[in-house]
Amino acid sequence: MAERERRHARPRGVIFVPRSQLLTEDEVERALRRMAHEVVERNDDPRTLVVIGLQTGGVPIAERLRDILADITGVDIEFGLLDVAFYRDDVSLHPVLESAETSISSDLTDRTVILVDDVLYTGRTIRAALNALSDWGRPRFVQLAVLVDRGHRELPIRPDFVGKNLPTSHDEAIDAGVDGVWIGTLVAK
């Protein structure tokens, strides 16, 4: 199995097989820098920001976005990790095999949460994330940042900050990270 396939093996016995690269590492960096500037323009006080990456794909993107925000603002931006596995509405269809760490170090009440994920598809993961966030306080604002919006929403969820809109078919899969974005398919191991 290729290294990329090994890193992105799905827990339910499928792997991502890349077909072509859509964004290079440099293009992802430019998109994240643009998104960070949009976050700063939209939010007056960077000290109220908390960047939270969704496990697992959103974490490296959130870390990089946080670093860029800190460079732009000169403020040490708070960071957290959120696992939504037990908040999903499709657990009966896809049982949770492993859960990841949730690490949020402070109360989110009256904070501006920048919720970060790699790919926005149906919106169900974001719905679960919003439910999970309520366990950590009542944020003043929750703003959604995604590296890739591939469409096909099943819920009325729209991102505030998007790296790239990449319409896809239901048969295609997207693998997005700070090292690039690929389109491909999911196949059984």
Short-list 108, 56, 49, CA closest to 82: 56
- Tell me: the pLDDT tens digits for 88-123? 877 666 555 566 788 898 899 999 999 999 999 999
Provide the domain count of the chain: 1
- Tell me: the pLDDT tens digits for 37-96? 999 999 999 999 999 999 989 999 999 999 999 999 999 999 999 999 888 877 666 555
Name which of 14-23, 88-97, 103-112, 167-176 the model is least confident about. 88-97
b (16+ CB within 10 A) / e for 104-121: beeebeebbbbbbbbbbb
188 within domain boundaries: no
Verdict on whether the full-model pTM lies above 0.75: yes
For residue 131, which phi and psi values (nearest 5 degrees)? -65, -45
Instruction: Show the CA angle centred on residue 117, arms to residues 114 and 120, nearest 5°.
Output: 115
38 within domain boundaries: yes
Residue with the bigger pLDDT between 185 and 10: it is 185
Domain containing 116: what range? 25-85+97-165
What does the pLDDT read at residue 95? 57
Task: Compute CA 152 distance to the chain's CA centroid, rounded to the nearest angstrom.
Answer: 16
Residue with the bigger pLDDT between 91 and 138: it is 138
> Cα separation of 156 and 17, whole Å?
30
What does the pLDDT read at residue 13? 76
For the chain, what percent of residues have pLDDT higher than 90? 80
Q: Span 131-149, mean pLDDT?
A: 96
122 within domain boundaries: yes
Q: Which CATH number does the domain housing residue 74 bear?
A: 3.40.50.2020
